[in-house]
Structure 1
Amino acid sequence: MAVKKHELAPDSRNQLDLATLAQYIQMLDNQPFYLPDTPDITKHCQDIVKCLARTSIGGNGVELWEQLHLVEAFFISLLQSMPVAARREIVSAVLEKFHSLISDPQSDACPAMSVVLIVFDGAESEDMMKAARWLMERDENGPAAGAGLRACLSCFYRWTYQWDGTPALGDWIMTFIKVLEEKEHFDILIEVSIDNIERMVLALRKSVDMKRSVAAVILHVLACMRDSTDALDRIAPHVDTILVALASQCGQWSRQLLQNVVDILAAYIDALPVRTNPRIADKYASVMLCLEKHMASRGCPYLAYPSWSSQAQPGTSGAPSVPSAPPTRKVGLLNLGNTCYMNSVMQALLATRQFSSHVVLRMHAVPYWQLVGGLFAKMIHSISTKLNPEDIFHAVKPPFFTLDHQHDSSEFLGYLFELLHTYEHVSDVNFDYSRPHAIHCGQLRSLPARPAAKPTTSKAEATRTRSSPSHDHDNNNEPGGRRSMSPRPGGSGVVTRAGGSGKRISPGRSPECLMPPKKRPRMHMVEPTFLRQNSFVDSLFGGVLLTRVECSQCQMSSLSRDVFRDLQLAFPEKPEPGKQHCVQSLLEFYCSKERMTGDNRYDCRDCGQLMEAERSVLIETPPKHLILVLKNFRFEAKRQSQTKLMHPMHYNSTITLPTVRSQTDHATYQLYAAVIHAGTTLDSGHYFTLAKDNDQWHMYNDDVVTPSDEGELNALTNCCTPYILFYRRTDVEDVPTPRMQEMPEKVQEIVMSHNKHFIESMRQLRGQRP
C-alpha cells in the first residue's frame, strides 16, 4: 500500500524526527530474527504515532514519502510476524494513541499520522466498526466526551481536504461517522459538518487525485446535510466552480462524481419552498441556474440515507427514521390510440423487478431487449411524468395486431415473451428493426388439438374475431366449463397432449380394437417438455405442468409434462352455494379432477375410441413469478356472441399453488401487480394497472399515475375486472431498482438524452408563454 508524495517542512521542535525513526526501522529490518519484547515494541509503535502527529507538511516531499512508506512496510511486517495475542495488543495500543492525539481539542495532528491505519489492511468492515465502538466508548465515559468526539470528527474532516496520501483514511472516517450515527450523536455531526462542509466540497475539485473512499465521505456528509440551509449557504457560492471543475475532467469516475454532486444539490433545492417563496427562489437562483446545465437523475445512492436533522428532531428520542429516498416520481405512458393493452403490460413488467433490472443492466446490446430496457430505464429515471413509447411499441407490436384497434393485453404479453426469448442470445447493436420478427408467427397462431371432440379453430381465425380479452370466449363453452390448456396467440406455448384428437378409430387399428379390453392398470408416458435452461424468460416465468388422464374403461393413464408461462383460470359454471369466487378457489378448481364425458370424451389409445375419462392437473415445477389470466369472458352458443362475466370475487394477496410432490406441499405467492379491464363488452373498454413498488401501490392509467393501495383491487366496480394477475413466490427475493450509476454507459446516455430533451422542451414552452 503506497503513500503519495507530499512536501514536508522541516520540523524544528525538540522531538523524535522522521529521520531518526527511519534509522530505527531500518535497524530492525537488518535484524529480522530479533524483535524487542512485546511491551517494548508496543511502546515503540506508540512513539511512532506520536512522531507522525508532530510532523509538519512542507519541505522535501520525496524524502517524506520514502519515510512514510517505510513506516507502512514496518507495520505490515511487524503484524505479520507477531502472534495473534501480541498483534491485538499492538493494534489496540496504536489505535488508542492515535485516537488520544486527535481527540485533544488543542491538537493539530498532522494528517501523515493516518498512515498508521495500515494496521487495518485486509480487515473486514465489521472489525473496523468494533474498533471504532471500543474507542468511542472509552471517550464517552470521560468528563469531556462531547468535546473529544467533536475534535476527532473535526480533525478527520480537515484531513479530507489537506491529505490524500492514505488509502485507508476514507474508510476509517466513514466508519467513525457510522458509529456516531449508530450512537445518535447527530448534534455533533451537524455542528462539525457545518463548520467544515465548505472546504470539504471545494476539495472535490481535485477528484483526479482524491481517493474514492474520501470522496465517498464528502458525498455522504453532503447528502446527510441536505435539510440544512446553513450548509447550503456555505456551499452556494462555490457550486459553479465545483461543477465546472468536475465537468472538465475526463473519466467514468469523474463523470459519476459529477452526477452524484448534481443529484445531491438538487435534493437541497427540492427541500426548499422555491415555488411558493420568491425570496428563497431569488436567493438560490444562481444554484438553480447551475443545476439546469446538468441533469439530476434522482438516483444518487447517498440520498437513500436519512438526513441527520430528521433524526435529531426533539421528541424522536434520536430513533433512526425511515431513510428518505430520493424523489421517486412514477412515470406514465402516453396512449398512442388504443394502446392501453401495451401500456398496462409494460407497467406490470417494470414492477417485476427481477425482470426489468435484468433487462436494463444486462441486455443493452440484444435486439428488442435493448428497446425494452431503454424504456424501463427512462420510466425509472425520467424527470418528466409521462413518456411516449412509440418507438418500442412499433417494434414489438405483434404483426397481426392492427393500429387504432384495442387488442388483448394477455395476447400481447405472450407474444412479447416469445419475441424476447427468440432474440435472447443474439448480439447485434446495429439491428434493423424494419425487418419482420424472426419468430414463427404462423406457428404461434396455430392452436393444438383440443380434448373436446369438436372442430379445432386456428389461432389466425380466432384472432380475426377478437377484440379486448375475447380470446377467452371459447374456453368456458367447453362441457363442464373447465379449463382449456391450449395456448393463445403468442401465449405461453403450453401443449396439452393428454387430450384426444376427435377420431373414433385411430389409423392402423382394426375394428376388433373396439372390443372392450381387459381391465388392467397401464400407463403411457408422453415425452416430456422441459424448461429451456438457457432462457431467462423461462427461468423467471416458466413452470412445468403435469397432466394426468385416466380412461374409465381400461384404467390406462397418460401423463404429459408441458411448459407454461401463465395459467388461464376459468370460472365454474355452478359455484358452490353461499361461497364467493376468489383466486385461490379458481386455482383449486383448475387443479381439481375433471370428468371427461359427452363431446369432451378422451381418445383412448388402448380402447381405440372416445371413452369417458378423468383428467387432473398439478404443478410439477412452480415458476418464480406466476402469471394468472382470469377468463372473465364466455362464448354464448345460443346467441353466437361473447359476453363478459362480472362475478363478485375476492382477489387474494397471497395464494398457494399445489405441486405434485404432495397435496400438502405448496408454493406460496404474493401479489404485486394486476392488469385490469374496464368495460362491459368485448368490443370496447380500457386497460389499466395496479402495481406495487417498494411496498407502495400505484394506479397506472396510461400517462396518469396516482398513489393507491392493495385494497383498491377488491373495491373495483363490477365492470372493472382484474384480468392478468402477477404473483412472486415468497422464497424469491426481490431486487432493488437499478441506480443510474449501475446502468451501462449506453443506457445512461439514453436516459440523459431523454431528460435533456425534456428540459429543452420545457424551456421552449416557457419562452412561448405570454
Structure 2
Amino acid sequence: MKFGVLRREEYCRKGFIYYKLAKMAVKKHELVHDNRNQLDLKALEQYIQLMNDQSNYMPPPQELVKNCQDIVKWLARASGNEEQMWSLLQTVEEYLLRIVNTVHTSIRHEIVTAILDKFYTFISDPQSDACPATSVVLIVLDCSDTEGNLSAARWLVQQGDNGPAGAGLRASLSCLYCWLYEWHGTPALGDWVLAFIKALEENERFDILIEVSVDNLGRLFLALNDPVSLRQSVAEVIFHVLASLRESTEAFDRIAPHVGRVLANLANDSGQWSRQLLQNVVDILSATVEGHVDALKGEAQDMFKDKYDDVVLCLERHMASHGCRYLQRPPWRARSVCLTSLNTNTSTRKVGLLNLGNTCYMNSVMQALLVTRQFSTHVALKMTAVPYWARMAILFGKMMHSVSTKVNPDEFFAVVKPPFFTRNNQHDSSEFLGYLFELLQSYEHCSDLNFDYTRPAVLSSHSRLRIVAQSTQQASQSTSTDVNDNNNAEPVSNRRSVSPRPSSSAAGSSSSGYKRSLSENAQVEGLPPKKRLRMYESAFLRRDSFIDSMFGGVLLTRVECTECHSSSLSRDVFRDLQLAFPDKPEGWQHNVQSLLEYYCSKESLTGENQYQCRDCGEHRDAERSVLIETTPKYLILILKNFKFDPKLKVQTKLMHSMYHNHTITLPTVRSQAVHASYTLYAAVIHAGTTLDSGHYYTLAKDKDQWNMYNDDVVTSSDESQLNGLERSSTPYILFYRRTDIEEGTAPSMAELPPKVQETVMSHNKHYVESVRKMRLARP
C-alpha cells in the first residue's frame, strides 16, 4: 500500500516536472514579429500535448487556472489560418475538455470564469488584433446548452456594462462579427455571438447593437454568397441581425449593392440549404422594403423606389412567404435624445450678461453653452421642472428672446455658483464649468417645481466629486492625482505638465491625465498664500445622462510591458481634455492639433515610474498610450496656459505662440466608426497676465456669424480674430462641435414651455416699462 502511494506521488512529481518543462519550452520558443508577440505554434502545440500525455496528472487548482489563462493569451497572440492551426486547435480542445470534465465543480466554475474573463479582455480591446483562433476556448461552454451560453454572455455583458459608454461592449461585438466572417475553425462561434447579441438586447443596449451591426452588416451579408461553407449558427446570426435592422435605412444602404448577386448565387444552387437561405433573405428584405415604403409619403416615397429600383426588381423575381420566424421579433430601435424640431424664425438679437462683480468667468461660459444649440435648446424646452436646470432654462430663454441687449443673470448665478468660490473674487472659468456639469448631472432626473434653493446642493454619489482645499499650512508641495489601472498597478506619468492646475470639468481625472498633468508627488516650490482649490472625480458615462450624451467621451489607456508584451487597459470618461504644452525652442508656434497628438502620444514608464506587470509579477519598463475610444458630440479643450511663479506667488501665463485650429481631428482607436473631425464654434478668452486676475470674454459663432460676448457688450467679430489677439489675451477654453452634428437654431418664443414664456414676457414687460419711466422722468 505504501509502495503504491509512493509510486503515485512520484508520478505526480514527474507530471509537474513535465508541466514546468513544457512552460519553459514555450517561453524559449517565443518569437517577436512586427512589435507584437507571435508564438511558435509548433512549440505551443508540443507544450499542450505534453500536458495531454500526462492524463492522470492535474496541476494544482491555482496553477491550473493560470495555465488556462495563459492558453487564451497565447492563442490571442498566434497567427495563421484554420489549416495551419488545425492540429493545435484539436490539441487545445482536448486539453480544455479534459479539464472541465475532470475537475471538481467549484474549480470548474473558477476555470470557466477565468477563461471567459481573459477572453473578454482581448475581444474588448479594439487595438489587440486577437487571433480568431482564440474563440476555440469557448469549447468550455456546452454549445448545446442554449441557456448556459446565454447565462455566460449575460455575465460578460454585465462585466462590460460597468465600463464607460459601453465602449468594451462595442469593441467586443465588433470583434466577434469580424471573427464570424473571417474564421470557420470554431463551430460554436455563431451560437456564442447570438447569445452575446441576445444578452445585449436584454440589457436594452440597442445603441451598441445598431451602431456595430450596421458597420459590419455588408460583410456579414456577403457570407450568404457561399452557402456550402455557411454554418447554421452563422446564418442564424445574419438573419437575426437583418430582421432586427429592418427599420434602418442606413443598414439597407449597406446591403443594397450586394442583394442581386447574393440572390442569384442562392437561386443557382438547387440544394435544400440554399433554398432555405434564399427564402429567408427574400422574406426579410421584402418586409424591409414594404416597411420603408409604407413609412414614406409622396415625393419621399417615389425617391426611395427610384433609389432601390434594382433591389425591388430582384426581390419581385421571388415570392415572399410572409411566414418568416425572424420577422416575429421586434426591430432594434435606438434611444436617442429627442429634441423638438427647431423653428428657424427666431430672434437674431445677441444678448449680453451683466457683470455682477467679477462674474465674467461665469458669463463667458454661459455664452459658450448658449451657442451649443443642442444643449441650450434641450434645456429651454425639456428641463423646466428640474432643479437648477429650470433656472438655466429661464436664463437661456431670456438670452434667446430678451428685447433688451443685456440680461441680469443673478437668479441663476446665486444658486449655481460653487460654494467654495468667494464672492467678488476672480475665479477659474474651467473650474466653474466642471462644477456646473456635476451639479446639473446630479439633478437631471429629479422633478421638483417647489425646490428649496436655500438648501446646499447635494452632488449624487455616482459623480464622486471631491473638492480639496489646500491651505498654506498644509503644503510645501502640490500633488496631482493620476488615474491608475483598476488594480492600482500603473504608476503616474513621468512627463510633467507645465501647469500645476489639475483636471476641472472632466468626468474622470484622466481628462487631464498622465503626461497631461503633474506627476504624483511632483514638487512645486511654494504655494500661493491663499487656498488652492482642486477638483477630482472618477465616474463612468451614464447612459441616462444628457450631460454625458452631449459632452462625454471615453479615453482608452493601454500600458504594455516591454518584457513580456502583456498589456492592461483602462477606460476613463472625460468631459474636457486639458492640453499641456511640450517643451519646444523659444519662438516655436504650437497648435491645437499638435497638442492633441502630444496628449495621446506614447510615453515610456521607467525608473521610479515602472509598471507593476501582473503577468511578470514585478515592476517592469512599459509604454503607455492614450486614444479616444468614444468621441463626444461637443469637445471641450482646456489649454494649460499657466504656471506657478514662486517669486510672485501667482499663476503666471505662459503666452506661447499659438495657432488655434478651426478644424481638428481626434486621435481615435481604429474601430471608431463615428467621425472624429471637429470644428471650432466658441472660445473663452482670458485677458491678463495671471490666472487670479484679468478678464474673461467669449468669441462664439452662431448661424455662421462670429460675435464677441464681453459681459453685457456684444459686437460682431471675425473667426480670424482668434489668431490675431494681443499677446496677453489667450484662448483658454475651446469648444468644438463634431462635424456630423447639426448646429441647429434657437427655438422660437412660441415653442418655449409656458413657464419660460411667461418669465421672458415678464422680463421684457419690465424692461419696456423701465425704459418708458426713464423717458417720462427726463426734463
Rg bigger for which structure? 1
TM-score by length of 1: 0.49
